[in-house]
């Protein structure tokens, strides 16, 4: 039987990786907007809720979710509601990109100019550690002491929450003044190539 599955990942202010941003997103940050980026979910790893998401299932759901991102409908709320409906009055952010990096789901989000977005921005500006949490519908089975998410899983959205369950899974604030952290192998390669080209 399908149930509401929610997973928590820690968001913290700090690291920066401007190479992940498009030119429009860099402009948005320079003009005072807030972008966050980093790991949003992880496959083949037992999380704090005891669940394991198979790689193939997350890859499929990320591919499907990219359609919502492209249509600018990939919205998330501040705090998890108790149902599977995204309530527009509570929307705080919009996912602007999502991709797989090995077994990690990586992404970027824009904090929106909504009441909930204003609260999220204020919390991040104040240095509060905020979690990111996936919300989806699906079945689970028990196998060798692990709870395995089944093939009927459907990703709904990513919400911002106060209770993370996966240590080391960080969303980082994109900062217009400094670059402190690199998230992906591709980004490391791009950075090295850019440095060679600038010389």
Catalytic residues: 80, 133
* Pair of tokens at residue 3: 């149930």
Torsion, Cα 38 71 140 11, to 10 degrees, reads 20
C-alpha 113/C-alpha 82 separation (Å) is 24
C-alpha 102/C-alpha 172 separation (Å) is 19
Please name the residue that has the structure tokens 């689970």: 140
Rg (C-alpha) for the chain, rounded Å, is: 17
C-alpha 182/C-alpha 91 separation (Å) is 28
Angular region, 33: left φ>0, alpha ψ -120 to 50, beta rest:
beta
**Closest CA relative to residue 35, chosen from 95, 91, 100, 75:** 95
What value, to the nearest 5°, has the Cα angle with vertex 168 and ends 167 and 169?
95
> Helix or strand or coil: residue 149?
strand
């Amino acid at each position: 039987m399908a149930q509401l599955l929610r997973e928590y990942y820690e968001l913290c202010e700090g690291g920066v990786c401007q190479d992940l941003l498009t030119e429009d997103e860099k402009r948005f940050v320079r003009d005072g907007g807030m972008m966050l980026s980093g790991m949003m979910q992880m496959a083949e790893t037992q999380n704090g809720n005891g669940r394991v998401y198979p790689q193939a299932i997350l890859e499929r759901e990320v591919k499907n979710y990219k359609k919502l991102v492209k249509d600018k409908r990939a919205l998330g709320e501040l705090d998890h509601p108790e149902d599977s409906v995204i309530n527009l009055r509570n929307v705080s952010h919009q996912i602007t990109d999502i991709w797989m990096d090995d077994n990690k789901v990586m992404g970027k989000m824009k904090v929106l100019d909504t009441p909930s977005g204003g609260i999220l921005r204020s919390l991040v500006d104040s240095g509060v550690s905020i979690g990111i949490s996936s919300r989806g519908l699906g079945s689970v089975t028990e196998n060798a002491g692990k709870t395995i998410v089944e093939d009927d899983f459907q990703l709904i959205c990513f919400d911002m929450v106060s209770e993370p369950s996966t240590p080391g899974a960080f969303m980082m604030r994109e900062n217009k003044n400094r670059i402190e952290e690199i998230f992906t192998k591709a980004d490391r390669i791009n950075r090295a190539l850019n440095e060679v080209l600038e010389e």
